[in-house]
Amino acid sequence: MGLNLTRKIIAEHLVSGSMTPGQEIGLRIDQTLTQDATGTMAYLQFEAMGVERVRTELSVSYVDHNTLQMGFRNPDDHRYLRTTAARYGLVFSPPGTGICHQLHLENFARPGKTLIGSDSHTPTSGGLGSLAMGAGGLSVALAMAGEPYFLPMPEVVRVRLTGRLKGWAAAKDVILHLLGRLTVKGGVGKVFEFAGPGVDTLSVPERATITNMGAELGATTSIFPSDRRTREFLAAMGRPDGFSLLEADPDAGYEAEIEIDLDRLTPLAAQPHMPDRVVPVAELDGLEVSQVAIGSCTNSSYADLKAAALILKDRRVPPETDLLVSPGSKQVVKMLAAEGLVEPLLDAGARLLECTCGPCIGMGGSPVSGGVSARTFNRNFEGRSGTQDARVYLVSAQTAANVALRGRFSDPASWGEPPARIELPEKAPSIRRLFVFPPESGLGVEVLRGPNIVALKEFPRLPETIRAKVLLKVGDDVTTDHILPAGAQITALRSNIPAISEYVFSRLDQGFVARIKDAGQGIVVGGENYGQGSSREHAALGPRHLGVRAVLAKSMARIHRANLINFGVLPLLLVDKNDYDRISQGQELGIAASEITPGGVLEIGLDRDRIAVRNDLTAKELDIVRAGGLLNSVRARQG
């Protein structure tokens, strides 16, 4: 039996383990990326390792999340990132250049390369055949130091596409359809590999929309083959030498297969407050909308914004509806401007925002109180927009433009003829001069730190016995936004763990921080899919700083589980999920941590009773937790 595309790339980069689903593998990493909200801590961790220069083929430090630069904290962080990049050999992307995933797709991603990024939507680059995965910042720092990236070998699911998108259906509707079928837990431990005759009908930006939002399935990553469409895209980006043909063998095997008929797809929307609550747009007919936002790393490409501009041309958005547009990069803006497509957006009443993530992470552009917002983004978690009681719907750029024009959702059958299919021009304008490339040697570069940049403290080893109270019990699908929110005020503290930890679980329980400070340490209990969403390691690091020693849950999201391990928090799973109902906030648990074995079952004390928990830790992961975290483990290994 031949190899599928995913296994081909893994086989070429495998440094340890075997390609048996569920078994731990170590991969050599070719490229890394960070963004400013996660990057500062990643580089503080990299500096702590004492490595003089990054050891990857390419590492890029992007500034795209918090570019508001309110007060000194953000500009200080950005200066630190710029000088760190020069010192250690990274490419630096200054504020306003664009969104990391859009920029990486345009300028650096290559077929067949491995890429990890400290952002959960790093799989965007899978749209051109890169094995691209989101990870915690510490994992990225280790990859920059030349260490392998360890993860469970995923199952590979073949998603066979047939037919062709018709009418108002868009690439966003492909991934929304998949989310509606599989839910936000449906991709855990899996790679979705797209194949079939329908693949050839999708451009690289369309493919990137699909792989980007595959993160909402909980997937390890998603990937498309590198084919004639990839060659066309790289040629248009001025990178024809980056192309290589990469596809699955004709007789390749897969663990599962899904088929999607593109002919049958219609415009879809994800309802509040989860990306998998998907319904046809026609079912929302009449729902008034107070805000529309077009952009984010999912839908801010030239093709997305050109489609919106053509729909809005010579028309006006109602005054009751705000329209925000965030281009994905300055290259996108230049391409639109060259075709006279900025004016239609402005004349329709749109606010043209900076080329950043912006409203997608609650960084400005919040909806009105109780407002309905239709957004082309990838997440609609409660409160993520910056307005706690807002209702956010996720849609394609084409749907968003039609909603904006009418100030409400309506049946797509009433929208008329869609614009003709949009293809990239043969040559796009380059913005590579805007990147700051590092000097040959960084030894003479001074790394500049502001007063808000606080070095990470060293955590103690895991004790032989954990005896602590359950200080918080939460339900299913708790996201990293719930654990540690985004937004301008909090994101500005990402380089100051003591300060940002004051906001841990603030959206769920305002009293949590005071309780754990009073207790000194504690345990958190979660339901299904605990820690889904963003890759932000601060959602593990903040609780660990406060004294969280263990998390018990029915199940955990992949990246958050890895982040808990990286910072010495013990992740445990309930053997009998019904035991979740037996645990109450305030109860004391006793965990004989010294008796834990890799993958083993352990009975823990619950007041005068006992319940069974298991772990899915490898021997290496258990050693990391016992050492008090990955940095401690690396320091010990280095002597």
Q: What is the pLDDT of residues 149-198, one digit of tens each?
A: 999 999 999 999 999 999 999 999 999 999 999 999 999 999 999 999 99
Span between the terminal Cα atoms of the chain, in Å: 45
The pLDDT value given to residue 186:
94
Q: Cβ distance 211 to 159 under 8 Å?
A: no
Q: Cβ distance 101 to 297 under 8 Å?
A: yes
Same domain, 221 and 88: yes
Same domain, 280 and 244: no
Q: How many domains does the chain have?
A: 3
Residue 219: inside a domain: yes
Domain closes at, from 374, 392, 414: 414
Residue 461: inside a domain: no
CA 590 to chain centre: 35
The pLDDT value given to residue 608:
79
**Closest to 54 in 3D by CA, of 433, 432, 442:** 442
Q: Cβ distance 359 to 384 under 8 Å?
A: no
Residue 520: inside a domain: yes
The CA-atom distances, in angstroms, between 498 and each of 70, 80, 487, 489 are 20, 19, 18, 15
Say whether pLDDT at 526 is over 70.
yes
Same domain, 321 and 407: yes
Say whether pLDDT at 414 is over 90.
yes
Separation between Cα atoms, residue 300 and residue 449, nearest integer Å: 33
Separation between Cα atoms, residue 121 and residue 346, nearest integer Å: 29
Same domain, 288 and 257: no
- In tens, the pLDDT along 203-221 reads 999 999 999 999 999 999 9
Separation between Cα atoms, residue 184 and residue 188, nearest integer Å: 9
Which alpha helices (H) appear in 324-432, and where do they start and end? 330-338, 342-347, 397-406
- In tens, the pLDDT along 89-110 reads 999 999 999 999 999 999 999 9
Q: Span 529-539, mean pLDDT?
A: 89
Same domain, 232 and 275: no
Q: How confident is the model at residue 638 (pLDDT cuts 50, 70, 90)?
A: low
Residue 433: inside a domain: no
Q: Phi/psi at 402 (nearest 5 deg)? A: -70, -35
Place of tokens 């910042």: 137
Q: Span 304-308, mean pLDDT?
A: 97
Same domain, 132 and 41: yes
Q: How confident is the model at residue 458 (pLDDT cuts 50, 70, 90)?
A: confident
The pLDDT value given to residue 639:
55
Same domain, 347 and 485: no
Residue 367: inside a domain: yes
**Closest to 255 in 3D by CA, of 154, 155, 152, 151:** 155
CA 91 to chain centre: 21
The pLDDT value given to residue 535:
79
Q: DSSP labels for 268-305?
A: EEEPTT-TT-EEEGGGGTT-B-SEEEE-TTTS-SHHHH
Q: How confident is the model at residue 588 (pLDDT cuts 50, 70, 90)?
A: very high
Q: Cβ distance 287 to 412 under 8 Å?
A: no
Same domain, 250 and 276: no
Residue 331: inside a domain: yes
The pLDDT value given to residue 362:
86
Within a 10 A sphere around the Cβ of 20, how many other Cβ atoms? 10
More confident residue, 457 or 570: 570
Q: How confident is the model at residue 202 (pLDDT cuts 50, 70, 90)?
A: very high
Q: How confident is the model at residue 521 (pLDDT cuts 50, 70, 90)?
A: very high
Domain closes at, from 414, 434, 449: 414
pTM: 0.92
Residue 565: inside a domain: yes
Helix (H) or strand (E) holding 5: helix 5-13
Same domain, 257 and 302: no
- 628 Cβ contact partners less than 8 Å away, ≥ 6 residues apart: 458, 459, 460, 461, 462, 568
Same domain, 170 and 43: yes
Question: Mean pLDDT score of the chain, rounded to an integer?
Answer: 95
Q: For residue 42, give its domain range.
A: 5-17+24-262
More confident residue, 201 or 607: 201
Same domain, 622 and 486: yes
Same domain, 555 and 623: yes
The pLDDT value given to residue 493:
83
- 330 Cβ contact partners less than 8 Å away, ≥ 6 residues apart: 96, 97, 98, 355, 431, 434
Domain closes at, from 262, 292, 326: 262
- In tens, the pLDDT along 130-140 reads 999 999 999 99
CA 27 to chain centre: 20
Q: How confident is the model at residue 530 (pLDDT cuts 50, 70, 90)?
A: very high
Structure tokens that stand for 370 in this block: 């109780």
- Look up the CATH number of the domain holding residue 137: 3.30.499.10
Residue 429: inside a domain: no
Q: How confident is the model at residue 614 (pLDDT cuts 50, 70, 90)?
A: very high
% of residues, the chain, pLDDT over 90: 87
